[in-house]
Amino acid sequence: MQIFQKYIAKTILLSTMMVLFVLLGLYSFMDFVGELNDLGKGHYQMMDVLAYMVLSMPKRIYELLPIAALLGSVLGLGSLASQSELVVMRAAGISIQQINKAVMIVALFLMFIAVFVGEVIRPPAEHYAREIQTTAKSGEIARGSEDGFWIRDGLHFNHIGRILPNGNFADLSIYEFDQYDRLRIATKAAEASYEDDGWILSNVVQSLLDEDGVKTRTIDHARWKSELSPEMVDIVIVPAEFLPVWSLLDYINYLDDNHQSVEQYQMAFWMKVMMPISSAVMVFLAVPFIFGPLRSSPMGGRILVGALVGIAFHLFNQSFQHIGLVFGVLPWLSSALPTLSFGLIGWYFMKRIH
C-alpha cells in the first residue's frame, strides 16, 4: 500500500471511530435514562444498570456502524479537502480511482469489524445483559415469555410452560397427531430433564385417544425422544436478530424439516449477511460527497447531507424488511434491495466524477 493510501485510510478510520464514539455516547445516554425508570424494581440497582449498559454496547455499535461509516468518511475526506491535501494529491498525479482504493480499504476493514462484533461479541454480550436485567428485576432468569412457547417436532406439538434456571422444562404438554391430523396422545409432565440425547419426563399424565374413547394413565418417569435439544431451545427463546449466523442456519433447517414458517429467520439471516456490505457501501458513498456535486459546499452542509442519507438508509432498510415480511417478498431481496439501491446511487455519482 502506498503512503498516501495509508494516510487517507488512517484519517477516515480515526474520523469514523470518533463519530461512532459520539453516537454511541448519545444512544447510551438515552438508554440509560430509559433504564432509570426501572431502577429499584426488585433488586435492580445502579450497578445492574451500568452492567446492562456496558453489555448492550456491542448491539449499539453493530446498529450504528453504517451511519458512523458514512459520516466518518465524509468528515475524514472533508478535512483532507478543506486543508487542500486532496488537491495536492490530485496535482501530484494521483487519480480519484487511487483515492477510492484507499477508501475501499477502510470499507473492507469496517466489514471485518461488523462481522466480528455482530457474530462473536454481540450474541453472548446481549445474552448476559438480558440475564442480568431479568435476574435483578424478578430474582430468577426469565427465559421465554410468561405464557411459555409452542414448538413443533415432527407430528408432535409441544407447549413448554417454563424453562427453569438449570435448563429443565416445567409444565410440559406434548400433543401427538397421526398422519391424518387426528390427536392420538396427549401427555403432560411436571418437569423434563435432558439426558443422553433425550428428555426424561417426571410425573407424567398421559391420555390415549382412539375410537373406543380416552384412556388415562399415570407414569412416574418416561423417556421422550425429540430433536429439540437444550441448544435448540436457547435459539428458540432468543430474538432472531441476536442469534449468530450459524445458529440461525441450524434453526432454519429445523423449522424447514418440520414444515414451519421460516421467513422471519431467513430475513434475519440475510440482514446479517448484508450488514457488513452496508457499512462498506456507506463508506463508498462518501467519495461523491467530496468530489461530486457537493464539493463546493461547506463542511457543515456535507455532514448534514451525509446524516440525512444515513438516516434515510436506516429507515429504508428497516421499513423494507417489514414490508417484505408482510407482502411475502423473498427474504434475500428484501434485505439486499436497500443496500444495492444506495450502492447504485453511489456508483452513478462516481461515474459522473471527472
pLDDT tens sequence across 93-105: 777 778 778 888 8
Quote the pLDDT of residue 175.
Answer: 92
Structural domains counted in the chain: 2
Q: Please tell me whether residues 121 and 38 are part of one structural domain.
A: yes
Quote the pLDDT of residue 144.
Answer: 52
Q: Please tell me whether residues 16 and 103 are part of one structural domain.
A: yes
Nearest in space to 283 (alpha carbons), one of 60, 137, 112 = 112
- Asked if residues 204 and 223 have their Cβ atoms less than 8 Å apart, the reply is no
Q: Please tell me whether residues 116 and 157 are part of one structural domain.
A: no
At 300, the pLDDT band (50, 70, 90 cuts) reads low
- Asked if residues 73 and 106 have their Cβ atoms less than 8 Å apart, the reply is yes
- CA triple 32-36-38, angle to 5 deg: 125
Quote the pLDDT of residue 292.
Answer: 60
Q: Please tell me whether residues 127 and 155 are part of one structural domain.
A: no
The one-letter amino acid code at 211 reads E
Q: Does the reported pTM lie above 0.85? A: no
Residue that finishes a domain, picked among 203, 228, 253? 228
Distances (CA, A) of 299 to 13, 20, 151, 250: 18, 18, 54, 47
Q: Please tell me whether residues 279 and 203 are part of one structural domain.
A: no
Distance, in Å, from the CA atom of 155 to the CA atom of 162, rounded to the nearest integer, reads 22
CB atoms within 10 A of CB 222: 15
Assigned domain for 246 exists:
no
**What is the overall mean pLDDT for the chain?**
82
Distance, in Å, from the CA atom of 299 to the CA atom of 293, rounded to the nearest integer, reads 13
Distance, in Å, from the CA atom of 175 to the CA atom of 161, rounded to the nearest integer, reads 14
Q: Which residue has the cell 442480568?
A: 132
Answer yes or no: is pLDDT of 141 > 60.
Answer: no
At 284, the pLDDT band (50, 70, 90 cuts) reads confident
Question: What dihedral angle (degrees, nearest 10) is formed by the CA atoms of 95, 76, 315, 28?
Answer: 160
Q: What is the pLDDT of residues 312-351, one digit of tens each?
A: 887 888 788 778 877 878 888 888 888 898 888 888 877 7
